[in-house]
Structures are given as C-alpha cells and as structure tokens.
Amino acid sequence: MQLNTIKPAEGAKKARRRVGRGIGSGLGKTAGRGHKGQKSRAGGYHKVGFEGGQMPLQRRLPKRGFKSASLKFNGEVTLADLQALGKEDVDLVTLKEAGLVGQLVRVVKVVKTGELSLKVALKGVGATAGAKAAIEAAGGTLA
C-alpha cells in the first residue's frame, strides 16, 4: 500500500449540498428557505430565543428559587459519622482528611442523626441542640 493509493471507504465522502443551483438539484429557486419572511432573506436573522416580538419563554416563566453561593463553604456531619470516625479529638482538618466534608468547607455543624457512644471532643465545630445533648450525654465536649 502506498500513500498515494489510499482512498476513503465507499460512501464515506458525500458531496456538499449546493443550494440555489437550479431546479434539478432539488434546492433551486428558494434554496430550501421557503417563501417570504425574515428567515428567507439575506442577512435576516435574529438572536437565539427571539420569538418575533412575542414575550420570550425565559421571560414568560415565573422567577423562582435562589441558591446561595456560600453553600459550598458549609458542611454537615451526623452523629453516626462521628461514631464511624472513631477519633476522640475532632476538628475541621480531621473531618476533611476523613472525607466527611469537602475541601472548600469552612463551617461544619453536627446534626442529630444516628447514635453516638464515643467520648468525642469537638473543636471549632458547631452542633445543633439535639446533637450537643447527645455528645454531652456520651461524655464528650464542645469547644
């Protein structure tokens, strides 16, 4: 095989569509643009989402919801997570190393989900009222 003898597979190369080249091409006269109207004319086009002056869909729909950009800096840990972690001293760095919270997280709160029997000392980590009671009942502390 020589480089000058290589050819594409049969049917792989298709001739480009030549519009406006006579009736026999199937795309003569109006060249597939239909009759009249803005889209049939040269240079006659509009921005994406334009509906001919009708109120566009994105403006017809009601404004709803909001997602705070600061959510990615907040984390949540359960009592069950602390039990599974099995460490006595827990702080933000410990939770990040264990993969319980993301690397961007700055503020962590413990929520009362699951059981805790370990004595855990939390440093720089918040807790809900129920979680705080459960931690102190297990002999732990919050700082």
Domain ranges of the chain: 72-142
Residue ranges in the chain whose pLDDT is less than 50: none
Q: Please give the share of the chain, as a percent, with pLDDT higher than 90.
A: 90
In three-state secondary structure terms, 26 is coil
pTM of the predicted model as reported, rounded to 2 decimal places = 0.54
CATH number of 72-142: 3.100.10.10
In three-state secondary structure terms, 72 is helix
